[in-house]
Structure 1
Amino acid sequence: MKKPVLILLLLILYLNCHALNNNMFWFSRSLINPAESGLHHNLYAASTGRVQWLGLSGSPSQYNALVDLKINAMQAGAGLNYSFYKDGSVKTNSFSANYALQHTFKNQSIVSFGLSGGFTNGQFQREEYAIILKYLSPGFELQDDYRFAFYNLKLGVAYKTTHFELGLSSNHAIGSQGLKPYLNQMRMFHLTTSYRFDAGPNLDITPHVLISTHDLENTSFTSAVLLNFRDRMWTGVNYRYDKGFGIMIGCDISGMFRIGYNYETYFNGERRYTYGSHEIILAFLLR
């Protein structure tokens, strides 16, 4: 089997595993939709981390950092994103820069159109994927870790009112042509929506939904319900279709700092072998 075919098969394995959605995705929206940059705060800086299937060797983990800035003079937003992902033999680093053009209507609703450009580089570690190669092509060996890279273009649109939000975005919008001709990322589409209900003078209830699909074939569904007390303390539950459910808790300190934690367990046999998934967020914000 030729080397390009082997690498392509390894990349497909990586793509099928690279679906580590953050359960608290509404705290880092610009990672999946560039139109969200600068849409919610004058300045927002956050770091998130997620470890999945804790207790299993080589379990997936992902760490993100983002900075979003609202540019009032230009009716626009801008941001920078970074993500590190590790899953067994695969490690990737992703960088992107976002720009969003916003328009505010008389009723204070906002529509935003976003564009993002960046790249991903990564590697398959030879000592870990050697077992896979043994079955794909007996007798074939790669002498070193295999490195790959590809460009990424994201497009997005978002609509926001005082209570309702809707976003649609496409990651790898043009197929993300790789730096090598046989490395191409699949297109990903994301739909996010939420609605904030005023349940009392000090309580808001907000359901969130994220639907993601790979080339309109493999679709995942994530939902959550968040209870917010006086814009200070929040808690809630999340559900991932056919995967698992979790609980979350967090707080905003002095209206400028945010800390949150999510624990998720699973429906299937994974629950017997792992300690679940853990996710945290730390953020600084200026409203």
Structure 2
Amino acid sequence: MMKIMTCTTSKSLVRNVFLLLGFLLVMFNKSYSQQEPQYTQYMYNIGSFNPAYVGTVENMDITGLYRAQWIDIEGAPRTIRFGVNYPFENEKMGLGFNVQSDQLGPTTNTFVDISYSYQINVSSNTKLSFGIDVGGSFLNVDFSKGSFENPGEPILGREQINEFYPTVGAGLFLYQDKWYLGVSAPNFLPGGLYNDDVAQVLDDNLQFNFIGGYVFDLSEKLKFKPAFLANFISGAPVTANLSANFLINDVLTAGASYRFDNAISGLVGFQISNSMFAGYSYDYNTNPIGQYNNGSHEIILKFYVGRGSKTKKDKIENLKGKPKQIDSPRFF
């Protein structure tokens, strides 16, 4: 009877959490924030857009990412990201740190934020993490980098703009060892914080990100993980990404991704050691802009601090002549 009551309570808690989230979606539908940069390897980069993820990792990890979009188009987006996820020893809390620079034409937007997460057990093997991040964006617009002929816009009367605006975001992350579901919003602050000049450069509605994935064990040496990422921005079409990756021998990752009405992508990754992962993706545009560029490139490096250190179990296996080579990654 106690097990039934516990299961019912857990399901009720999860339902109430997502009902609350739906309420927030309605409440903040008219507010404004920055539009997040686009990632193809989002499944390895969750901490960049969901603060609830930062405490769910098994060990501290450090991520570096570079994305060059629409090669051969002058002024096309370029994104650089550095992030840290740090789980506390109590396995309930975590801290994260992000620095992200997004360049587009004459505009450079640098985001800096600190994340905090706290997780609870909703069942014996299911955890729900709550996260919040606080930071800000340094906006620089340098019109000397190009030719802009539009005298009707008062902003063009200034050659350079340097502004700062604060950001406050939040997220939820529900997961087990084999699957996860998450939702986040990078900024809830209203658009009234922008001045008249900046509003003409950043006129982006509130964005919500939904992510999920599942890991299938096809065999002892082969895992399959389908995943999705959907971005909702008020007043704009939904951006949906579907991906399918295979993990071979816990070392090699290979797969493909499709961004609806936008691009198809190839992904490859390699677990270089217990403490280092490298990934690469190439996007080919399926929309009309594909005629004018040579695709997009994205490189990611992940370092796992403390991972692969010898445990008591490892030492016993070594004595038996079975050294542990690569830790089995969680795959998200």
TM over 0.5: yes
Deviates more, 1:172-181 or 1:215-224: 172-181
Counterpart in the other structure of 1:119: 136
Aligned to 1:155, the other structure's residue is in SS state strand
Aligned to 1:131, the other structure's residue is in SS state coil
Please tell me the residue identity of whatever aligns with 2:63. A
Please tell me the residue identity of whatever aligns with 1:168. V
| Alpha-carbon shift at residue 253 of structure 1 (Å) | 1.9
Contact 1:117–1:153 (CA under 8 A) maintained in structure 2: yes
Rate the CA distance shift 1:132–1:195 in 2: closer, same or farther, 3 A.
farther
Counterpart in the other structure of 1:43: 60
| Alpha-carbon shift at residue 215 of structure 1 (Å) | 2.5
> Quick check: which has more Rg, 1 or 2?
2
Counterpart in the other structure of 2:116: 99
Contact 1:222–1:238 (CA under 8 A) maintained in structure 2: yes
Rate the CA distance shift 1:38–1:47 in 2: closer, same or farther, 3 A.
same
| Alpha-carbon shift at residue 21 of structure 1 (Å) | 1.3
Contact 1:189–1:215 (CA under 8 A) maintained in structure 2: no
Are 2:307 and 1:275 aligned? no
Contact 1:158–1:165 (CA under 8 A) maintained in structure 2: yes
- Superimposed CA distance per residue, residues 128-180 of structure 1 (whole angstroms, 9 cap, x where no aligned partner): 4651533x349x85243012221111111111111110001111123365353
Deviates more, 1:173-182 or 1:194-203: 173-182
Counterpart in the other structure of 1:253: 272
- Superimposed CA distance per residue, residues 216-244 of structure 1 (whole angstroms, 9 cap, x where no aligned partner): 64320111101001221101001101001
Using the alignment, how far apart are the partners of 2:175 and 2:121 within structure 1?
A: 10
Are 2:197 and 1:178 aligned? no
Matches within 5 A, 1:202-241: 202-215=221-234, 217-241=236-260
Using the alignment, how far apart are the partners of 1:185 and 1:148 within structure 2?
A: 16
Deviates more, 1:95-104 or 1:105-114: 105-114
Contact 2:57–2:85 (CA under 8 A) maintained in structure 1: no
Are 2:93 and 1:76 aligned? yes
- Superimposed CA distance per residue, residues 79-133 of structure 1 (whole angstroms, 9 cap, x where no aligned partner): 1001001011111111000000012355232110001000001122122465153
Number of residue-to-residue matches in the alignment: 271
Match of 1:88 among 73, 91, 105: 105
Counterpart in the other structure of 2:166: 151
Using the alignment, how far apart are the partners of 1:74 and 1:160 within structure 2?
A: 14
Rate the CA distance shift 1:20–1:105 in 2: closer, same or farther, 3 A.
closer
Rate the CA distance shift 1:77–1:56 in 2: closer, same or farther, 3 A.
same
Please tell me the residue identity of whatever aligns with 2:168. L
Match of 1:58 among 64, 75, 78: 75
CA RMSD of aligned residues (A): 2.3
Aligned to 2:37, the other structure's residue is in SS state coil
| Alpha-carbon shift at residue 268 of structure 1 (Å) | 2.3
Counterpart in the other structure of 1:6: none
TM-score w.r.t. structure 1 length?
0.87
Rate the CA distance shift 1:195–1:176 in 2: closer, same or farther, 3 A.
farther
Using the alignment, how far apart are the partners of 1:173 and 1:222 within structure 2?
A: 24
Contact 2:55–2:92 (CA under 8 A) maintained in structure 1: no
Segments ≥4 residues shifted beyond 4 Å: none
Unaligned runs of 5+ in 1: 1-11
Counterpart in the other structure of 2:28: none
Match of 1:108 among 106, 121, 125: 125
Using the alignment, how far apart are the partners of 2:174 and 2:80 within structure 1?
A: 27
Aligned to 1:270, the other structure's residue is in SS state helix
